[in-house]
Amino acid sequence: MKKNVIISSVIVLGALCFILASVLRSDPEQLMINVPRNYDGMYASPEDTIRFPGTISAMRAEGGLLFGYAHGLRKLYQYNLGDHTTDTLVDTRSFLSGILSGFDFDPVSGTFYFLNTNTNRIYLFHPKDSMKDSLYFKHLHFAAGEKCCRSADFFIRAIDDATSLTSLKKVDQSRGADTTLYTFTHYADGGISADGFFIKDRSSEKQFFIPYYNAEIIQYDEAGNKISKIITIDKTMPHNNVVPANHGYTISSKSRIINIAAAADSAHLFVLSFASSPGKNEPPGTVIDVYSTITGQYERSVQLPFFQGRRAALLERSGDRLFVAFDNDVLCYKIKYK
C-alpha cells in the first residue's frame, strides 16, 4: 500500500512538474501555425504615406483615388494619389446613424454604400449630385455585406431570426428575392461564431467572406455562381466561440481573432493574419499571407513592420499597389513579384 502511494505521488508530482514547465515556457499571446511561411518571390516597397483626418474604419481604392471612411468623424474622404490631395466627400451624420457594418463603392455608377445593421438598411451616396438614398431590407436581417460585382444584387451575411442560423445570400433588394449561397454549419448563435467581413475583386468578379475566428474563407464567383473555400494556413476550424448571455449569446473572452483584414486582386487574396509560424519573429498583425484565388492554395507571405508602433488594421489592393491602414495613416506599397 505504502509503495502504491509513493508511486502515485511520483506520478502526480511528475505530471504537475511537466505542466508547470510547460506553463513557464508557454506563450499565451501567440497563435501558432504549423507550416513555415514562404517569404520569397514578393516584395512590398513603401511608396507613399497618406494621412487622413481621423481613424479609417473602411477604405476602397479605385483608379487613382483612395476613399477612406472615418467612422469617428462620420466623414468620407477622398485622397488623390496623383496630386496628393485629400477632400471630404460627405458628412454622413445627416443620413447615417449607428455602427457601420459594411462599406462599398461601385465605380460604374459612382455610388457609395454604407451598411447599417441597426436599421437593416443600406445607405447610398452619389458624390456627383450629392444624392442620398437608402434601401430597406424588410424580408431578411443582414449582418454584413457588399454589392455584387456584376449585378445590382448584394452579397450579404444574413441571419434567420427564427432559427438564428447564418447564411451567405445573394439578394435582389428591388424584388425582395434572395438566394442562399452558403449556410454556416456551426451553431445557431445569431451569427456570432460566423462573424467576419467582405472584400472583392471586380476584375475577376470574385467576392470573399473572411471570418475573424477561423480559417474557412468563403469565395463567391458571381460569373460562375459558384461557392468555394480557401483555407488559411493556420487551419483553425470553425468553432463555437460564444457564451450564453441574458438574452442570447455573447462573444467569449477566449475567442481569438485570426484574420484581421484582407484585399484581393485578379488572382490573389491577401490576408493580414494574427498567426505566427514557429521559430520566426512574426508579431501578430504584421504578416500578410498570399493565396491563389484560382487554386485556393497558399503561395507566399510578406511581412510589414510596425508603423509608429501601431498594427495594421485594413488592407486594400488596386493595380500594383497595396494600401495598409494604421489608424489614420495609410501606407501605400508597390507590390513587386520576383
Partner 1 sequence: MKRNTIITILSYALSILFVYAASAKAMVYTDFMADIAKSPLLVNYNKAIIAPGILGLEFSTVILLQFKATLKLGFYLSSFLMLMFTLYLSTLYFFYTNIPCSCGGVLGRIPYPVHIVFNLLFTILSFTGAFLCSKPENRPQTAVV
Residue 33 Cβ vs partner 1, minimum distance, rounded to whole Å: 7
| DSSP letters spanning 288-304 | EEEEETTT--EEEEEE-
Give the Cα separation of 272 and 261 in Å (integer): 5
Q: How many C-beta neighbours within 10 Å does residue 98 have?
A: 10
Give the Cα separation of 334 and 338 in Å (integer): 13
The residue (of 12 and 223) whose beta carbon lies closer to partner 1 is 12
Burial class (CB in 10 A: 0-12, 13-18, 19+), 120: middle
The residue (of 207 and 277) whose beta carbon lies closer to partner 1 is 277
The residue (of 11 and 223) whose beta carbon lies closer to partner 1 is 11
Residue 40 Cβ vs partner 1, minimum distance, rounded to whole Å: 22
The residue (of 34 and 180) whose beta carbon lies closer to partner 1 is 34
In the numeric block, the cell 448571455 is attached to 245
Give the Cα separation of 333 and 77 in Å (integer): 20
Residue 135 Cβ vs partner 1, minimum distance, rounded to whole Å: 39
Query: Where does this chain bind partner 1 (CB under 8 A)?
Result: 1, 3-4, 7-8, 11-12, 14-16, 18-19, 22-23, 25-28, 30-34, 234-236, 253-256, 278
Residue 277 Cβ vs partner 1, minimum distance, rounded to whole Å: 9
Residue 228 Cβ vs partner 1, minimum distance, rounded to whole Å: 21
Residue 291's closest CA among 240, 215, 224?
215
Q: Assign residue 17 a region: left if phi > 0, alpha if psi is -120 to 50, beta otherwise?
A: alpha
Residue 18 Cβ vs partner 1, minimum distance, rounded to whole Å: 7
Give the Cα separation of 81 and 68 in Å (integer): 13
The residue (of 213 and 307) whose beta carbon lies closer to partner 1 is 213
Cell numbers placing 21: 514547465
The residue (of 214 and 318) whose beta carbon lies closer to partner 1 is 214
Residue 227 Cβ vs partner 1, minimum distance, rounded to whole Å: 23
Task: State the pairing for strand pair 31-32/275-276.
Answer: parallel
**Amino acid in position 324:** V
The residue (of 123 and 213) whose beta carbon lies closer to partner 1 is 213
The residue (of 231 and 313) whose beta carbon lies closer to partner 1 is 231
Give the Cα separation of 168 and 108 in Å (integer): 24
Q: What does residue 8 show for φ and ψ, rounded to 5 degrees? A: -60, -40
The residue (of 23 and 162) whose beta carbon lies closer to partner 1 is 23
Residue 314's closest CA among 277, 235, 260?
260
Residue 34 Cβ vs partner 1, minimum distance, rounded to whole Å: 4
Residue 244 Cβ vs partner 1, minimum distance, rounded to whole Å: 12
Contacts of 251 (CB under 8 A, 6+ apart): 192, 195, 241, 242, 243
**Contact predicate 82/119, CB 8 Å:** no
